[in-house]
């Protein structure tokens, strides 16, 4: 008597659903982390192979980032609607928090200010949260859009619309970033500065 193994994902078992949900959250996070890590590396180097850092960003980092909602959507299409929304909520929250923290670090407590900024870092928190929600929330909603289009069977449109929507949403987030940017002024202790 031959035994056959059945994939839990095909039977709709809780184990298979949990695994797909975990992949639906972890895979886009991995892609985005890789894109951010490569951007940090390219920001420190003038050249990476034959490409300068700007070309490397456009050729490698940007397409990698734009692929994240597309990959998320194609993974989420096999989930139930409730699970896909849950995955989008978790992914959106994590990306929003990371984007807000990175933006807050750059303007609220920048590394180029040895003694901090004249304006307290807490004053920069509202605009960093707005930018973070635009980045993370936009990416999560874009992933849900891709999932819906993929479920309808228009896979190439899902890829094109997903990447195009992410370009628009990132552009909007950058517009909000520059609109809310408050140039920080570094505190420089001197002979006339008063310290408590």
| Interacting residues of 70 by C-beta distance below 8 A, sequence separation 6+ | 143, 146, 158, 159, 162, 163
Tell me, what DSSP letter sits at residue 189?
A: -
Query: Residue 123: its pLDDT value, please?
Result: 81
Rounded to whole angstroms, how far apart are CA atoms 138 and 144? 10
- SS3 state of residue 153: coil
Rounded to whole angstroms, how far apart are CA atoms 185 and 114? 11
Tell me, what DSSP letter sits at residue 109?
A: S
CA gyration radius for the chain?
21
The residues pairing with 117 across neighbouring beta strands, listed in sequence order, are 186
- SS3 state of residue 154: coil
Per the document, the length of the chain is 196
Could you tell me if 138 and 172 are in contact, meaning their C-beta atoms sit under 8 angstroms apart?
Answer: yes
- pLDDT digits (tens), the chain, 196 positions: 444 443 334 445 678 788 889 999 999 999 999 999 998 888 888 787 788 888 888 899 999 999 999 999 999 999 999 999 999 999 999 999 999 998 888 776 666 676 667 777 788 888 889 999 999 999 999 999 999 999 999 999 999 999 999 999 999 998 988 887 766 677 666 555 444 4
Could you tell me if 105 and 86 are in contact, meaning their C-beta atoms sit under 8 angstroms apart?
Answer: no
Tens of pLDDT, residues 56-95: 888 999 999 999 999 999 999 999 999 999 999 999 999 9
Tell me the three-class secondary structure of 27-50, residue by residue. HHHHHHHHHHHHHHHHHHCCEECC
pTM for the full predicted model: 0.80
Query: Residue 158: its pLDDT value, please?
Result: 94
Query: Residue 57: its pLDDT value, please?
Result: 85
Query: Residue 180: its pLDDT value, please?
Result: 76
The residues pairing with 51 across neighbouring beta strands, listed in sequence order, are 48
Could you tell me if 140 and 51 are in contact, meaning their C-beta atoms sit under 8 angstroms apart?
Answer: no
| Interacting residues of 167 by C-beta distance below 8 A, sequence separation 6+ | 66
Backbone angles phi, psi at 47, to 5 degrees: -135, 140
Rounded to whole angstroms, how far apart are CA atoms 115 and 194? 13
Question: Given the structure tokens 């307290």, which residue do they identify?
Answer: 120
């Amino acid at each position: 008597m031959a035994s056959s193994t059945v994939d839990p994902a095909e039977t709709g078992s809780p184990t298979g659903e949990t695994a797909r949900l975990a992949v639906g959250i972890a895979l886009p996070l991995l892609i985005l982390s890789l894109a951010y890590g490569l951007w940090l590396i390219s920001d420190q180097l003038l050249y990476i192979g034959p490409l300068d850092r700007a070309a490397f960003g456009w050729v490698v980092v940007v397409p990698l980032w734009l692929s994240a909602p597309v990959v998320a959507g194609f993974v989420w299409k096999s989930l139930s609607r409730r699970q896909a929304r849950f995955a989008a909520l978790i992914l959106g929250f994590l990306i929003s928090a990371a984007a807000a923290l990175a933006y807050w670090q750059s303007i609220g407590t920048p590394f180029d200010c040895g003694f901090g900024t004249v304006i307290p870092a807490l004053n920069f928190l509202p605009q960093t949260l707005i930018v973070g929600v635009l980045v993370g929330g936009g990416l999560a909603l874009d992933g849900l859009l891709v999932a819906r289009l993929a479920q309808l069977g228009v896979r190439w449109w899902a890829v094109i619309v997903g990447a195009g929507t992410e370009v628009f949403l990132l552009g909007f987030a950058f517009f909000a970033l520059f609109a809310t940017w408050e140039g920080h002024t570094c505190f420089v202790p001197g002979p006339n500065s008063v310290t408590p």
